[in-house]
């Protein structure tokens, strides 16, 4: 499951909340109700205006800062938005520009979708930590805190990584939801907590804001309902984190998207805030009280304290956002029966988002490549004697194990049950020559390198250690593509997907090689057929409508005859194709 490691933060005693009054009191009551409903146990936040604490943090990224390895302060750069709502800090000015553009564009979408208040009161500070190895990657972490009595947010992210942008947008979506729910609050007191948000809400809002690249979700919901596998509302409310399994992860995202989408479009009773507020009338009977401390959002400034020129901003302590316990309650503004009726709508909606033929062909072309991490020799590096010695010892052990194989020395007669000893020369062969042979290490130090391979050339990489993980991701990608593909492409994509599945099973039939050959041939035939249909339609438009004197049904035969003439003329005539077609079709052709 996707998880975030706990990061310690300073603890302070809670301060008494002011008496609710008017709209402010209603907003405070909503926040406290949400906190009591979704976070029975949460940690308290420190005040960022505490001067001794700020002095302890210092001006740069020290060992106490949980933002990654120490970085030379002189490499950090800052960029602030015009309206001062966003500040980005990283080691690369180009990264600052790209992150700022992504944050402002995403905020514009959220402004329309969530109807965020104007002007936006809370500020966001994004700290981008550059990593040299993908193994150092960590999901984005959110922090919140007080700066001069106002609530501020901070996002710490790690890049470059394929999922870095999505993690940043996921964190921003969470912040935008807080902005919507808590915008009426004018002041915050030391020790107050932010209520954790359910997964279906944060992920549903995120995927709705990314609707342009996730049009397949309606079909996934429809597919789940048609096969009686769609989750109930209670199941959706119990999700606390996204699964590491790519297929189930898409499943969670699709139903979270659909639930939020239906609420937003008014197909379900109540608005998004109504769905949260309604939970105050429901006690979590299925979830026993938790005794463990759940970290809440730790404080962090939108504008860090001033640091000497050339140094990075102070790094406040971070903690992961609290997650609702499994079995958390959900608002009963809609019954399970009403939810099931709403799932039927996915059938009609899914028909509107199927890719065109050209879109599917383009998406399949993008999905043909797959990344594998490989160990390649470092250029110019000399063999390491210790590595060579270890390699020789490993080779000796492998040879010794191969010389004394563990094979049966006797057989049992299944009818009589008697045991018969086998002579030395009659013992069964348990391994083929060369199979499982130990590869000799040349002793040269190696480094990780990502290589790109095509999905139809994986036969020679069956023993690659990173292949199983890469196959799982690619199979999930082809599965989602098949769900939204043009109907003519679905059988072709299904063959490619089955080929990758059979690649992981040596004795599977048909084999990976034969399935890949079939998929490539089917793809060529489909493309050629599409070209012929397109060519025929263009010919029909050029030729003009069929006259009443012509017999219906001879149009396509005329087209075939014309193509044959054209191919014959092309072999013998060097004249341009445009002039040739005019001569074949006659002077009255529309060209």
Per-residue pLDDT tens digits for 227-268: 788 898 888 888 889 988 877 888 899 999 998 888 888 777
Q: Which residue has the higher pLDDT, 333 or 504?
A: 504
Report how far residue 11's alpha carbon sits from residue 77's, in angstroms, rounded to the nearest whole number: 31
Judgement on whether residues 453 and 563 belong to the same structural domain of the protein: no
- Is 370 in a helix, a strand, or coil? strand
Judgement on whether residues 124 and 263 belong to the same structural domain of the protein: yes
- For residue 198, what pLDDT band results from cuts at 50, 70 and 90? confident
Judgement on whether residues 287 and 329 belong to the same structural domain of the protein: yes
For the cut 70, the answer to whether the pLDDT of residue 460 exceeds it is: yes
Q: Which of the residue ranges 4-13, 58-67, 292-301, 407-416 has the most confident prediction, judged by mean pLDDT?
A: 407-416
Q: What is the pLDDT of residue 222?
A: 80
In a domain, 429, yes or no: no
In a domain, 186, yes or no: yes
The boundaries of the domain holding residue 313 are: 22-353
Q: What is the pLDDT of residue 289?
A: 31
In a domain, 451, yes or no: yes
Q: Which of the residue ranges 174-178, 429-433, 569-573 has the most confident prediction, judged by mean pLDDT?
A: 174-178
Q: What is the pLDDT of residue 6?
A: 28
- For residue 517, what pLDDT band results from cuts at 50, 70 and 90? very high
Q: What is the pLDDT of residue 63?
A: 30
In a domain, 550, yes or no: yes
Q: Which of 306, 321, 353 is the last residue of a domain?
A: 353
Judgement on whether residues 48 and 192 belong to the same structural domain of the protein: yes
Q: Which of 353, 369, 396 is the last residue of a domain?
A: 353
Q: What is the pLDDT of residue 171?
A: 94
* Beta-carbon contacts of residue 204 (< 8 Å; ≥ 6 apart): 256, 257, 258, 259, 260, 261
Judgement on whether residues 475 and 340 belong to the same structural domain of the protein: no
- For residue 16, what pLDDT band results from cuts at 50, 70 and 90? very low
Mean of the pLDDT values across residues 435-446? 54
Q: What is the pLDDT of residue 441?
A: 58
Per-residue pLDDT tens digits for 126-158: 999 999 888 888 889 988 887 777 788 999 999
For the cut 80, the answer to whether the pLDDT of residue 94 exceeds it is: yes
- For residue 291, what pLDDT band results from cuts at 50, 70 and 90? very low
Range from 1-10, 440-449, 523-532 carrying the lowest mean pLDDT = 1-10
Q: Which residue has the higher pLDDT, 183 or 584?
A: 183
Percent of the chain residues topping a pLDDT of 70: 55
Q: What is the pLDDT of residue 495?
A: 93
Judgement on whether residues 332 and 221 belong to the same structural domain of the protein: yes
Judgement on whether residues 371 and 269 belong to the same structural domain of the protein: no
CA distances to 124, 178, 390, 463, 585 from 114, in Å: 17, 11, 61, 49, 59
Judgement on whether residues 563 and 502 belong to the same structural domain of the protein: no
In a domain, 404, yes or no: no
Judgement on whether residues 119 and 236 belong to the same structural domain of the protein: yes
In a domain, 3, yes or no: no
For the cut 60, the answer to whether the pLDDT of residue 405 exceeds it is: no
Q: What do you get for the CA distance between the two ends of the chain, in Å?
A: 61
Count of domains for the chain: 3
In a domain, 424, yes or no: no
In a domain, 479, yes or no: yes
CA distances to 25, 305, 399, 442, 443 from 386, in Å: 70, 50, 20, 11, 8
Phi then psi for residue 522, to 5 deg, are -65, -35
For the cut 90, the answer to whether the pLDDT of residue 106 exceeds it is: yes
Q: What is the DSSP string of 2-69?
A: -----------PPPPPPPP-HHHHHHHHHHHHHHHHH-SSB----BTT-HHHHHHH-SS--TT--SSS
Judgement on whether residues 367 and 484 belong to the same structural domain of the protein: yes
Judgement on whether residues 477 and 585 belong to the same structural domain of the protein: no
Q: Which residue has the higher pLDDT, 368 or 269?
A: 368
Q: Which helix (DSSP H) or strand (DSSP E) does residue 89 occupy? A: strand 86-90
Mean of the pLDDT values across residues 429-450? 52
Q: Which of 543, 561, 581 is the last residue of a domain?
A: 543
Q: Which residue has the higher pLDDT, 428 or 15?
A: 428
Q: What is the pLDDT of residue 175?
A: 92
Entry pTM: 0.47
Report how far residue 369's alpha carbon sits from residue 452's, in angstroms, rounded to the nearest whole number: 6
Mean of the pLDDT values across residues 391-417? 59
Judgement on whether residues 341 and 454 belong to the same structural domain of the protein: no
């Amino acid at each position: 499951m996707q998880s975030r490691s706990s990061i310690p933060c300073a603890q302070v005693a809670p301060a008494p909340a002011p008496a609710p009054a008017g709209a402010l009191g209603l907003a405070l009551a909503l926040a406290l109700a949400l906190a009591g409903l979704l976070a029975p146990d949460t940690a308290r936040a420190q005040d960022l205006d505490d001067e001794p604490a700020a002095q302890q943090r210092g001006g740069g990224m020290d060992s106490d800062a949980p933002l990654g390895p120490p970085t030379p302060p002189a490499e950090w750069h800052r960029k602030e938005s015009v309206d001062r709502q966003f500040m980005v800090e990283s080691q690369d000015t180009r990264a600052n520009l790209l992150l700022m553009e992504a944050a402002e564009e995403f905020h514009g979408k959220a402004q329309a979708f969530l109807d965020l208040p104007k002007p936006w009161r809370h500020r966001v500070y994004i700290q981008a930590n550059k990593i040299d190895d993908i193994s150092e990657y960590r999901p984005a972490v959110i922090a919140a805190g007080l700066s001069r009595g106002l609530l501020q947010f901070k996002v710490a992210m790690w890049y470059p990584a394929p999922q870095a942008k999505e993690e940043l947008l996921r964190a921003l979506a969470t912040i935008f939801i807080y902005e919507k729910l808590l915008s009426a609050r004018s002041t915050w007191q030391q020790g107050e907590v932010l209520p954790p948000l359910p997964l279906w809400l944060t992920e549903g809002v995120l995927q709705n804001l990314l609707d342009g690249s996730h049009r397949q979700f309606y079909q996934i919901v429809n597919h789940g309902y048609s096969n009686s596998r769609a989750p109930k509302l209670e199941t959706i409310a119990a999700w606390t984190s996204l699964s590491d399994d790519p297929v189930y992860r898409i499943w969670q995202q699709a139903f979270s998207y659909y639930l939020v989408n239906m609420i937003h479009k008014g197909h379900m009773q109540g608005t998004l805030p109504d769905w949260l507020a309604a939970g105050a009338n429901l006690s979590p009977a299925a979830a026993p009280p938790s005794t463990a401390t759940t970290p809440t959002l730790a404080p962090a400034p939108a504008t860090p304290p001033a640091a000497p020129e050339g140094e990075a901003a102070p790094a406040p302590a971070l903690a992961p956002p609290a997650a609702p316990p499994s079995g958390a309650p959900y608002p009963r503004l809609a019954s399970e029966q009403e939810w099931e009726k709403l799932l039927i709508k996915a059938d009609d909606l899914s028909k509107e988002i199927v890719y065109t033929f050209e879109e599917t062909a383009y998406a399949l072309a993008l999905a043909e490549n797959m990344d594998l991490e490989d160990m390649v020799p470092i250029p110019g590096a000399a063999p390491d004697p210790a590595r060579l010695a270890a390699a020789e010892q490993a080779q000796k052990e492998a040879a010794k194990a191969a010389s004394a194989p563990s094979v049966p020395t006797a057989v049992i007669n299944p009818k009589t049950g008697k045991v018969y000893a086998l002579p030395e020369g009659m013992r069964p062969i348990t391994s083929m020559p060369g199979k499982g042979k130990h590869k000799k290490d040349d002793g040269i130090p190696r480094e990780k390198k990502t290589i790109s391979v095509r999905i139809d050339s994986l036969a020679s990489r069956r023993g690659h250690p990173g292949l199983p993980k890469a196959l799982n991701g690619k199979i999930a990608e082809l599965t989602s593509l098949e769900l939204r593909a043009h109907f003519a492409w679905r059988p072709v994509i299904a063959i490619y997907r089955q080929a990758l599945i059979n690649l992981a099973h040596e004795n599977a039939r048909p084999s990976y090689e034969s399935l890949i050959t079939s998929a490539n041939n089917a793809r060529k035939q489909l493309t050629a057929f599409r070209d012929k249909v397109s060519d025929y339609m263009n010919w029909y438009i050029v030729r003009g409508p069929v006259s009443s004197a012509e017999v219906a049904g001879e149009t396509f035969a005329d087209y075939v005859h014309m193509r044959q003439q054209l191919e014959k003329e092309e072999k013998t005539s060097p004249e341009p194709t445009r002039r040739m077609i005019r001569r074949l079709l006659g002077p009255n052709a529309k060209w």
